[in-house]
Amino acid sequence: MMTPDEKGTLPLRTEKLFYDLQNRIYADIVRRIKKTGEITSTADYQINKLLLLGNSTEFIEKELKDLLNASYPEIWALYDKVCDWEYVRNKDAYEQINGNFVPLEENKTVRRWAEAIAKQTQGEIKNLTRSMGFTVQTRGKKVFTPLVTYYQKYLDSACMDIVTGSFDYNTVLRRVVKEMTASGLQTVDYASGWRNRAPVAVRRAIMTGVSQLSSKINEMVAKDLKTDKYEVTWHGGHRPEHWWGGKVYSYDDLVRVCELGEGRGLCGWNCKHSYYAFVDGFSTRTYTDEQLEELEAKEQEEHEYKGKSYNAYQASQAQRQMETTMRAQRANIKNLKQGNADSDTVIAAQARYLNTLSQYKDFSKKMKLPEQMERVYMDGLGRVVTDNKIKGMFPQKMVDNMQKDLNQYKRYKEVLGESAGTLANFGKMKYNDSKKWGELNHRYSVVKLYDVDSGKMPREKIFELDQKAFQAKTQLFTGNAKRKGNIAVMELDGNIKLGNSQVQTIDDPNYINFKGDKESLVLKTKVPEFKTLFIGTHNRDVDSEAKLFEYAASICKDGKEHVLNLLSERCMCESCRGVMQQFKKKYPNVQVNAVSNAKKQAEKNKNKPWTGRKR
């Protein structure tokens, strides 16, 4: 007879064909996005759109046709196997009981049933391929989208996000890959609205066909052997309502007790149970009643994992869910790699997968369940992680919150650059070193205050100049030079100079009371080289930045190359921006890197960026 485990393995080869199809569609979508990343303008995208997306319908049709052609031989082969298991294995019973066994190749009835059910299954699979697509998030709702529509609408939208600059390439790639792999290739029954992953749907179609063929053969065998008794198989991890496995029933009891013919009953949805002709005096039960009691008692035993209790069925379901998660994670990694995603994104995805794999192994061990990694590896993706040390690079809390922490790290890296450190070090600081984490947060909050006005100042230099300016204003200046106005700091060829809008001449009390080195202060020039604006009734020639550029002009007249780094506490006004442009035009030998308080920040805090700051 066909065991539950044997029955469960029958759909695997056809399932794998659907996973292979899913992988090819994923790869095709990533390839198209990758090509879009090479396009530099919206106009170029519109020109190339037909080349990028125009043949998607033909591609889908060819892939589905190839899938069906590959699946048909597999279906015939598996139903031949069912006939062998369910009919030929009864040869001894036929010969001993009624003395007449018709070989399978001559049994027209069994062959006719197998052929009819094979064609039925082929038809169901063909119907599945007609309604394939992805489930995507639209206006807060998950909506099923057919494959052709996904290419024409959602993929087109993603490509436009890249070429218009709405989102960078890596962000779009991550979004699309996550969306695809989280959904998986799905199929929908439009009449009922029911949808499921395509490999799961094809598995269900095959299991249904197997159950139908098995039932017909075994009912024929029972009739030939003149018995109305059937033994139902038993397997571990069964649904609680399938308690009836392992016992012997009449056909009427199969219907009444085991709910034969119902979706939730014997041989129903994804049911691995079968029933076989049982002949008194010839057949021997697989399990006695006493053995079944012991087996069922073990089924109800609960084991704890991370504070939650599981019986055998619940544990097997949790195991299946983890396998599904790992397949999605593996597809995610593969497609991110194919799309040349940044290394941090790939490493984070690999760490999540290795964490799930570790949990799966630990869970299976504690639940006393055999690992079934073949269910994961049938995705055909091979090794997606070549360095098993990756998981150990991150604290467990970070692995548990990887996507959130990865997004935070990218924000920090965008502001701090290389000083944000590696993703692994970022996690170690956040979860294991509160002092260093506090310092990194402070550095992030400081550098984020500033917008680039000219050039490209290293992030480390922004932080360094901010600290000098903040220390000078809060500790070295007094009076209104401390409370009001704007301070700017300039580093010219390694020398530091300070400008304060409240300090103009050597007679100024704010100059006299300055606690630092007065040589570092730049005062108002008597004969300015650059034009400034009047804003209101005030000439802005007293502004910090204007005075510093006047000083720089006196140094840079030598024609030699110089590097000027300037940081201003407040948002640089139009007058000072004008002075900077005049300076850059007159002294092209000077590399000018300038930052000032970000405009949005300035509007938010009334151009007082340091209010409440301690350091």
C-beta atoms surrounding 190 within 10 Å: 9
Residues 199 and 278 in one domain: no
Q: Mark which of 248, 274, 300 sits at the end of a domain.
A: 300
Question: What does the pLDDT average to over 412-438?
Answer: 92
Residue 63: pLDDT band with limits 50, 70, 90: confident
pLDDT score at 50: 61
Helix (H, G, I), strand (E, B) or coil at 304: strand
pLDDT score at 446: 92
Q: Is the pLDDT of residue 323 over 90?
A: yes
Residues 371 and 457 in one domain: no
Nearest to 30 by CA among 473, 340, 268: 340
**Mean pLDDT, the chain, as a whole number?**
85
SS3 content of the chain, % helix, strand, coil (to 5): 60, 10, 30
Residues 118 and 267 in one domain: no
Q: Could you give the CA distance from residue 350 to residue 384 in angstroms, rounded to a whole number?
A: 8
Residues 79 and 124 in one domain: yes
Residues 29 and 136 in one domain: yes
Q: How far is CA 112 from CA 90, 117, 118, 213, 263, in A?
A: 19, 9, 10, 10, 25
Residues 432 and 489 in one domain: no
Residue 106: pLDDT band with limits 50, 70, 90: confident
pLDDT score at 51: 62
C-beta atoms surrounding 386 within 10 Å: 7
Q: Does 216 reside within a domain?
A: no
Return the percentage of the chain with pLDDT > 70, whole number. 93
Residues 441 and 457 in one domain: no
Q: Does 428 reside within a domain?
A: yes
CB distance 473 to 610 below 8 Å? yes
Domain extent, residue 271, equals: 227-300
Q: Does 209 reside within a domain?
A: no
Residues 442 and 515 in one domain: no
Greater model confidence, 365 or 130: 365
Residue 198: pLDDT band with limits 50, 70, 90: confident
Q: Is the pLDDT of residue 341 over 70?
A: yes
Question: What does the pLDDT average to over 92-120?
Answer: 77
Q: Is the pLDDT of residue 326 over 70?
A: yes
> What angle do helix axes 198-224 and 56-86 make, rounded to 10 degrees?
20
* DSSP assignment string, 80-94: HHHHHHHTGGGHHHH
Q: Is the pLDDT of residue 191 over 70?
A: no
pLDDT digits (tens, 9 = 90+) for 28-47: 778 777 777 766 666 666 65
The pTM assigned to this predicted structure is: 0.76
Q: Does 524 reside within a domain?
A: yes
Residues 128 and 191 in one domain: yes
Q: Does 398 reside within a domain?
A: no
Residues 326 and 237 in one domain: no
Our CA angle for 603, 608, 611, nearest 5°, is 125
Residues contacting 501, CB < 8 A, separation 6+: 485, 486, 487, 542, 543, 544
Question: Which segment, 47-61, 339-353, 528-542, is predicted with the most confidence on average?
Answer: 339-353
pLDDT score at 49: 63
pLDDT score at 99: 67
Q: Mark which of 277, 300, 323 sits at the end of a domain.
A: 300
Question: What does the pLDDT average to over 464-487?
Answer: 92
Residue 490 sits in a domain whose CATH number is 3.40.140
Q: Is the pLDDT of residue 400 over 80?
A: yes
Q: How far is CA 607 from CA 380, 467, 596, 604, 612, in A?
A: 58, 18, 11, 8, 13
pLDDT score at 349: 92
Question: What does the pLDDT average to over 443-466?
Answer: 94
Which of 41-45, 320-324, 492-496 shows the lowest per-residue confidence on average (mean pLDDT)? 41-45
Residues 56 and 34 in one domain: yes
Q: Does 552 reside within a domain?
A: yes
Residues 80 and 115 in one domain: yes
pLDDT score at 1: 58
Which of 60-64, 357-361, 363-367, 522-526 shows the lowest per-residue confidence on average (mean pLDDT)? 60-64
H or E segment to which residue 232 belongs = strand 229-232
Q: Could you give the CA distance from residue 609 to residue 220 in angstroms, rounded to a whole number?
A: 87
Q: Could you give the CA distance from residue 74 to residue 584 in angstroms, rounded to a whole number?
A: 74
Phi-psi region of 243 (alpha: psi -120 to 50; beta: other; left: phi over 0): alpha
Per the structure, how many domains does the chain have? 5
Question: Which residues, in sequence order, are bridge partners of residue 145?
Answer: 134
φ, ψ (nearest 5 deg) of residue 558: -70, -10
Q: Does 612 reside within a domain?
A: no
Q: Does 222 reside within a domain?
A: no
